[in-house]
């Protein structure tokens, strides 16, 4: 059942992708690993950047949540500042996940997070602090990182 | 009358054209000018009906259960729910909202002389007679009137059409000034029954897109959830709920839609009731699960698990001291249900706290003698809840077991729990983090807490604790990321057993070195105070006794009392028995369980040691609670028991087919460093905490005689990683040839 649903969602997302998001399989023979390219939304310091987001679906999908991480380095309170780029999405926690949540919603939520970080729910406390207290500096670094890592 | 006449007769022409429009019309076979037609009554908007109280004389005449499959629950549930919104409904009135009523049966006879001289003979009725006679006679009059109005001509179609139009507002039955239609109580069951059947039929005809498989499905293959009305297809519901129940994840037996049930939460917080414990239970009732349908056996397990969770979450629960039983003691707060499938799963109130005491603690907090008797609900053993011996009567002064009487195993258990687990601040369930961040969610009571200091964290903003400069855990969200009691990087190397230790060395059994004389050299990272150490050294599971720190911390038990020595002797004997049985040095499994750490997008699974008696368990029994292929790193063979359920996914579950006695043997679960999501094999290293593994290998692990028999059940077979989708049976088949 899982792969059928994934195929369906993939087709839907390929046909009519949400704004600023393109999806493809990381490897055509494996439907469980997706490569998602996310354009930095306008008005955010990530604008003009193109971020690789890795989406990995468990075999139990949709009963178990997918996991999402940034493959491109990004300066963001909700993304770990290491090579894992792990993200903190409440909806992806095993106990919060609902089987009828869709990948599109997950991706849109992730993109929304670029527009509007959630500093109170941050995995990078320091960046969150900066986001709240010194927005200009945060914007600057985030823009710089975007230039450095997210523009090919 | 011959056929030609019949065909020419205006009446038969009229009836046959009516039959073309309403194929369901029944023409009387004995009299061709007589027909009957049921006119459906589906009022829109639905009708609010108040069923009036019985008068004393006609009391319980209709107490027979409704005939349709699900009438009572669906109907009553539905009706009560919709009424909640009604402003005029007073709580003690029996008001229901119906959108389908039994049809109006029209019998029409066209007499000779119709249409020019005679009006049609009309009879109207409903079964049961819910339509008041005043309305029926008005409708009958309408017939005559219409016949007159159309100039005494063919009137049947006009009349049927007229009735149909009137049926929509239910013939004006609700045309009364204040609110609901009042009908006698005797009609209630049959009307509700009819409504439910009709709704079911309408539902079955409809098509829904199941939110899980995203396929369009006919209603007949779907189920509408009673609580929230969301619709999913039956196979998806079965799949999901069956998995959850198998894994023990009973909290997830609720609606599958995102955000379902969230509104209620926000409303409550707006009202400013910070009552986090009293969450509205949105899980499905057993009867609804049966309706979906789920297997009776599965639903029984669900009911059992829910009750077990409740019991375990209640710190005042006392367990039977008989080790083979360990049932809960009877209590008024959690009475054992008489009917295991009954819906009111333990109605006890969370707020109502039972008496909690520490049987080893201060005399003053112990319950009075008269209250010390407890009776096991499973084996009916009467015992004293303080001294854990058979009930001795109120006049005997009894003392709690003293610390020194605790067996070495129990001490080791406590020690391990203290060192490598954190307790939930709400329910005290010990939890061990296997990986991930320090934001934990209790597997039992869903409390959010900090793994490092066990502080309660706000559900809305759990990370503040780690982001606040004043907090003792500032910037420590990722401390112990690799798990507690686990070396994140060199885990595998750490658990490699040096070859010399693998040799079974019976002769070196050292009487002076009691098996429980554990030392782990890691006293320095006992987590006692605040702030906790940032990254404890990994437990040296393969370390020989005699490390530098072994005499520290008062944990050297060489100076044991007589009881301890006797236990030691017994252990030695058992060790020999084990050796004779030719048991390859092999670890035992323990039993872990979960604790989901939240936050990060990879849900972090923790492993929690779960003695059945909750924290500081005195029980040498652990419930087998974790999932994963158990692979011994000692001899690199998978280790599985037919008395243990070993399934694949990484998510642990919380109830087992059975419990294994494995006290004193501790296991550390390691994620194989190259394990991937699709390969959930977990490496398990089992050893008695702190006891050098060669000691374990000698069998001096404190396995009692009785427990050896359990050991014998173990099958050590060849089976590698169990991939996803392999069912339990095939696993057990492969294990137990």
Cβ A93–B596 below 8 Å, yes or no?
Answer: yes
B575 within some domain: no
Instruction: Look at residues B162, B188, B205 and tell me which one is the last residue of a structural domain.
Output: B205
Count of CA atoms in the C-beta half-sphere (13 A) of B576: 9
CA closest to A125 among chain B residues: B467
pLDDT category at B440 given cuts 50, 70, 90 is confident
Is residue A131's pLDDT more than 50? yes
pLDDT above 70: percentage of residues in chain B: 49
Instruction: Look at residues B442, B457, B479 and tell me which one is the last residue of a structural domain.
Output: B479
Instruction: State whether residue B231 sits within 8 Å of chain A by CB.
Output: no
Q: Locate all alpha helices (DSSP H) within B436-539, ordered by sequence.
A: 464-467, 491-494, 499-502
Mutation target to probe the B interface, by most B beta carbons within 10 A, among A3, A98, A103, A129 is A98
For residue B257, give the nearest of A100, A121, A122 by CB distance. Answer: A100
Summarize pLDDT for B379-414 with one digit per residue, the tens: 888 888 887 778 887 777 777 666 555 566 666 667
Summarize pLDDT for B15-56 with one digit per residue, the tens: 888 888 888 888 888 888 889 999 988 888 888 888 876 554
pLDDT score of B660: 29
Same domain assignment for residues B196 and B210: no
CATH classification of the domain holding B147: 3.10.110.10
Cβ A126–B251 below 8 Å, yes or no?
Answer: no
Same domain assignment for residues B307 and B185: no
Q: What is the mean pLDDT of residues B602-616?
A: 27
B531 prior amide bond cis, ω within 30: yes
Statement: A1-151 belongs to CATH 3.10.110.10: yes
CB contact at 8 A, B391 and B383: yes
Same domain assignment for residues B322 and B396: yes
B593 within some domain: no
pLDDT score of A37: 92
Instruction: State whether residue B240 sits within 8 Å of chain A by CB.
Output: yes
In order, the DSSP letters of B574-631 are HHHHHHHTTPPS-PPP------EE-SSSSPEE-----BTT-TT---SEEE----S-EE
Same domain assignment for residues B100 and B138: yes
pLDDT above 90: percentage of residues in chain B: 2
Using CA atoms, how far apart are residues B122 and B196, in angstroms rounded to an integer? 30
State the catalytic residue, choosing from A21, A88, A118, A141: A88
pLDDT score of A36: 92
Summarize pLDDT for B618-636 with one digit per residue, the tens: 222 222 233 333 333 333 3
> B473: domain range?
421-479
Q: Which residues of A touch B213 (CB under 8 A)?
A: 1, 4-5
Same domain assignment for residues B151 and B39: yes
For residue A86, give the nearest of B239, B441, B600 by CB distance. Answer: B600
Instruction: For the full predicted model, state whether its pTM sits above 0.80.
Output: no
Q: What's B365's DSSP letter?
A: G
pLDDT score of B565: 56
- Tell me the backbone φ, ψ of residue B178, rounded to 5 degrees: -110, 85
CATH classification of the domain holding B237: 3.30.40.10
Same domain assignment for residues B5 and B117: yes
CA angle B311, B317, B320 (to 5 degrees): 105
Q: What is the mean pLDDT of residues B213-235?
A: 88
Look over chain A and give the mean of its residue pLDDT values, rounded to a whole number.
86
B663 within some domain: no
Using CA atoms, how far apart are residues B687 and B632, in angstroms rounded to an integer? 10
For residue A122, give the nearest of B252, B467, B474 by CB distance. Answer: B467
Look over chain B and give the mean of its residue pLDDT values, rounded to a whole number.
61
The answer to which of A52-66, B157-171, B413-427, B448-462 has the lowest mean pLDDT is B413-427
Summarize pLDDT for B310-329 with one digit per residue, the tens: 887 777 788 887 767 777 88
Using CB atoms within 10 A of its CB, is residue B580 exposed (0-12), middle (13-18) or buried (19+)? exposed
CA angle B137, B26, B46 (to 5 degrees): 55
Same domain assignment for residues B236 and B151: no
Same domain assignment for residues B107 and B49: yes
pLDDT score of B234: 92
For residue B564, the SS3 value is helix
| SS3 sequence of B60-88 | CCCCCCCCCCCHHHHHHHHHHHHHHCCCC
Using CA atoms, how far apart are residues A20 and B567, in angstroms rounded to an integer? 69
Summarize pLDDT for B167-206 with one digit per residue, the tens: 888 887 776 666 677 788 888 888 889 988 988 888 888 8
Same domain assignment for residues B331 and B372: yes
Cβ B463–A9 below 8 Å, yes or no?
Answer: no
Domain boundaries, chain A: 1-151
Q: What is the mean pLDDT of residues B674-686?
A: 28
Q: Which residues of B touch A80 (CB under 8 A)?
A: 478, 600
Is residue A123 annotated as a catalytic residue, yes or no? no
- Tell me the backbone φ, ψ of residue B32, rounded to 5 degrees: -65, -10
Q: What is the mean pLDDT of residues A51-67?
A: 88
Using CA atoms, how far apart are residues B390 and B397, in angstroms rounded to an integer? 13
The answer to which of A93-107, B137-151, B542-556, B710-724 has the lowest mean pLDDT is B710-724
CA angle B508, B576, B736 (to 5 degrees): 120
Question: Helices B188-205 & B76-84, crossing angle to 10 degrees?
Answer: 90
Is residue B550's pLDDT more than 80? no
Summarize pLDDT for B40-98 with one digit per residue, the tens: 888 888 888 888 765 544 444 444 444 444 434 443 334 333 333 333 444 456 788 88
Summarize pLDDT for B444-482 with one digit per residue, the tens: 677 888 888 888 888 777 788 887 778 888 878 777 776
CB contact at 8 A, B224 and B231: yes
Q: Which residues of B touch A86 (CB under 8 A)?
A: 600-602
pLDDT score of A94: 67
Same domain assignment for residues B217 and B339: no
B614 within some domain: no
Pairing of strands B448-450, B47-52: unpaired
B230 within some domain: yes
Using CA atoms, how far apart are residues B675 and B692, in angstroms rounded to an integer? 27
Using CA atoms, how far apart are residues B176 and B183, in angstroms rounded to an integer? 13
For residue A67, give the nearest of B252, B260, B602 by CB distance. Answer: B602
Higher pLDDT, B582 or B671: B582
Using CA atoms, how far apart are residues A149 and A137, in angstroms rounded to an integer? 18
pLDDT score of B18: 87
Summarize pLDDT for B106-118 with one digit per residue, the tens: 998 888 888 888 8
Cβ A65–B603 below 8 Å, yes or no?
Answer: yes
Number of domains in chain B: 4
Same domain assignment for residues B239 and B103: no
B475 within some domain: yes
pLDDT score of B204: 85
Same domain assignment for residues B213 and B188: no
Portion 570-599 of B in contact with A at CB < 8 A: 596, 598-599
Residue B689's nearest CA partner among B405, B312, B432 is B432
Higher pLDDT, B225 or B711: B225
Cβ B725–A129 below 8 Å, yes or no?
Answer: no
B730 within some domain: no
The answer to which of B154-168, B242-256, B277-291, B597-611 has the lowest mean pLDDT is B597-611
Higher pLDDT, B118 or B595: B118
pLDDT category at B279 given cuts 50, 70, 90 is low
In order, the DSSP letters of B641-684 are ETTS----SSS--S--SSEEE-TT-EEEEEE-TT--TT---EEE
Instruction: State whether residue B724 sits within 8 Å of chain A by CB.
Output: yes
Instruction: Look at residues B177, B205, B233 and tell me which one is the last residue of a structural domain.
Output: B205
């Amino acid at each position: 059942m899982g792969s059928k649903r994934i195929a369906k969602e993939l087709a839907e997302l390929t046909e009519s992708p949400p704004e600023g998001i393109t999806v493809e399989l990381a490897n055509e023979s494996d439907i469980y690993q997706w490569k998602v390219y996310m354009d930095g939304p306008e008005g955010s310091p990530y604008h003009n950047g193109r971020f690789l987001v890795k989406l990995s679906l468990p075999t139990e999908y949709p009963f178990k949540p997918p996991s999402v991480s940034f493959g491109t380095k990004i300066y963001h309170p909700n993304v770990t500042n290491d090579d894992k780029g792990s993200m903190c999405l409440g909806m992806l926690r095993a106990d919060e996940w609902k089987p009828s949540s869709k990948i599109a919603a997950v991706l849109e939520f992730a993109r929304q997070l670029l527009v509007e970080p959630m500093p109170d729910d941050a995995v990078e406390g320091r960046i969150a602090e900066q986001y709240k207290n010194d927005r200009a500096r945060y914007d600057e670094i985030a823009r710089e990182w975007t230039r450095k890592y997210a523009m090919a | 009358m011959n056929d030609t006449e019949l065909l020419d007769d205006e009446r038969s022409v009229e009836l046959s054209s009516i039959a073309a429009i309403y194929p369901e019309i029944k023409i009387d076979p004995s009299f061709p000018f007589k027909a009957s037609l049921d006119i459906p009554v589906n009022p829109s908007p639905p009708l609010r009906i108040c069923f009036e109280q019985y008068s004393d004389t006609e009391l319980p005449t209709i107490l027979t259960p409704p005939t349709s499959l699900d009438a009572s629950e669906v109907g009553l549930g539905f009706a009560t729910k919709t009424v909640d919104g009604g402003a005029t409904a007073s709580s003690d009135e029996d008001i229901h909202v119906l959108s389908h009523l039994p049809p109006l049966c029209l019998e029409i006879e066209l007499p000779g002389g119709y249409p020019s001289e005679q009006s049609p003979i009309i009879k109207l009725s409903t079964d049961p007679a819910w339509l008041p006679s005043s309305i029926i006679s008005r409708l009958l009059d309408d017939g005559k009137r219409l016949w007159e109005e159309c100039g005494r001509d063919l009137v049947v179609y006009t009349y049927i059409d007229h009735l149909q139009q009137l049926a929509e507002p239910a013939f004006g039955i609700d045309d009364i000034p204040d609110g609901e239609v009042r009908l006698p109580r005797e009609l209630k069951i049959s009307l509700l029954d009819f409504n439910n059947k009709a709704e079911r039929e309408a539902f079955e005809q409809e098509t829904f897109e199941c939110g899980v498989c995203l396929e369009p499905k006919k209603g007949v293959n779907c189920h509408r959830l009673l609580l929230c009305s969301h619709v999913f297809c039956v196979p998806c519901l079965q799949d999901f709920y069956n998995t959850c129940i198998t894994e023990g994840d009973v909290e997830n037996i609720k609606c599958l839609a995102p955000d379902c049930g969230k509104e209620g939460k926000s409303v409550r917080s707006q009202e400013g009731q910070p009552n986090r414990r009293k969450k509205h239970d949105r899980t499905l009732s057993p009867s609804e699960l049966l309706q979906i349908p789920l297997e009776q056996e599965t639903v029984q397990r669900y009911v059992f698990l829910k009750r077990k969770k409740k019991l375990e979450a209640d710190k005042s629960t006392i367990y039977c001291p008989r080790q083979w039983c360990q049932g809960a003691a009877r209590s008024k707060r959690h009475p054992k249900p008489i009917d295991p499938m009954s819906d009111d799963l333990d109605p006890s109130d969370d707020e109502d706290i039972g008496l909690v005491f520490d049987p080893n603690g201060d005399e003053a907090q112990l319950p009075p003698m008269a209250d010390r008797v407890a009776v096991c609900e499973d084996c009916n053993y009467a015992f004293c809840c303080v001294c854990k011996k058979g009930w001795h009567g109120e006049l005997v002064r009894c003392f709690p077991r003293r610390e020194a009487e605790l067996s070495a195993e129990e001490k080791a258990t406590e020690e391990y729990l203290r060192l490598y687990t954190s307790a939930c601040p709400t329910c005290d369930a010990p939890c061990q983090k296997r990986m991930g961040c320090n934001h934990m969610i209790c597997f039992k009571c869903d409390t959010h807490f900090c793994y490092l200091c066990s502080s309660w964290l706000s559900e809305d903003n759990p990370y503040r604790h780690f982001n606040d400069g004043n907090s003792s855990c500032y910037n420590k969200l990722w401390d112990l990321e690799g798990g507690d009691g686990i070396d994140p990087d060199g885990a595998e190397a750490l658990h490699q057993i040096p070859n010399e230790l693998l040799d079974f060395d019976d002769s070196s059994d050292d009487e002076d070195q009691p098996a429980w004389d554990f030392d782990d050299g890691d006293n320095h990272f006992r987590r006692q105070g605040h702030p906790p150490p940032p990254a404890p050294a990994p437990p040296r599971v393969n370390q020989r006794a005699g490390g530098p720190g072994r005499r520290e911390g008062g944990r050297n038990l060489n100076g044991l009392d007589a009881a301890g020595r006797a236990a030691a002797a017994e252990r030695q004997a058992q060790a020999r028995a084990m050796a004779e049985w030719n048991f390859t040095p092999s670890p035992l499994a323990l039993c872990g369980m979960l604790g989901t750490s939240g936050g990060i997008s990879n849900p972090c699974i923790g492993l929690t040691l779960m003695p059945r008696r909750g924290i500081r368990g005195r029980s040498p029994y652990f419930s087998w609670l974790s999932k994963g292929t158990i692979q011994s790193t000692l001899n690199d063979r998978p280790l599985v028991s037919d008395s243990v359920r070993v399934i694949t996914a990484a998510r642990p579950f919380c109830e087992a087919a059975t419990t294994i006695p494995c006290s004193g043997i501790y296991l550390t679960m390691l994620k194989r460093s190259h394990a991937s999501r699709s390969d959930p094999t977990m490496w398990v290293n089992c050893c008695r905490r702190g006891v050098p593994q060669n000691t374990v290998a000698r069998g001096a692990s404190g396995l009692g005689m009785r427990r050896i028999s359990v050991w014998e059940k173990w099958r050590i077979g060849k089976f590698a990683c169990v991939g996803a989708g392999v069912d339990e049976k095939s696993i057990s088949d492969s294990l137990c040839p």
